[in-house]
Amino acid sequence: MPKLSKGTVAFIVVFLVIIIDQASKIWVKTNMFYGESIEIASWFKICFVENPGMAFGLEIGGKLFLTLFRIIAVIFISYYLFLLVKKGYKNGFIACIALILAGAFGNIIDCVFYGEIFSASTPSHIASFVSIGEGYGDWMHGRVVDMLYFPLFNGTYPSWFPVVGGDQFIFFSPIFNIADSAISVGIVLLLIFYRNTLSESMQTQKPDEKK
């Protein structure tokens, strides 16, 4: 079997993540009520929510700012990935950056297009595709679809714990999507296996010194 080129590796990772991410979001969006939850296991649920912010529901700045920030980030990451491929970095390192790029791009699709092509999702109405201009929002103002929920265990903070003592908690409470997962996995793998390579890639060296 012929060895895949570095550019092909990057393309396959980005393509597969985006396809799986968008397929899962569209299925949830067009088959579930907003807030509906499907229990797969006691520690894993498909729970449909939407968020206007960053990964894992974080909200920073206005919606348009967040969308533009994502687009600019994807442009920079795309160029960085192009340079890595051109300079012959290892496939594992390229795959990590490709995961981050694919995750960022996957959420951009929601932000840019979903407001225009989907009707609103509510607890009493399942969204559907609509003609452009008849959706729940404008271009660049779509909401990101999240659905992966892992409430691994419930507990109660000790009574002596400051502020939240005696309150119940759920670990792990964020609801996220495939794109968020790709970004997180890419970053974790970079930190574990490619910290030095990442640092070197930011420096100006000859291509054959970086392999």
Give the residue numbers annotated as catalytic, written as ranges: 146, 180
Percentage helix, strand, coil for the chain under 3-state DSSP, each rounded to 5 = 50, 15, 35
Q: How many helices (H) and strands (E) does the chain have?
A: 6, 6
Count other Cβ atoms within 10 Å, centred on residue 1.
3
> Across the beta sheet with 144-149, what order do the strands follow?
37-41, 44-51, 144-149, 175-176
CA 162 to chain centre: 33
CA 103 to chain centre: 4
CA 84 to chain centre: 22
Length of the chain: 211
User: CB–CB of 60/147 below 8 Å?
Assistant: no
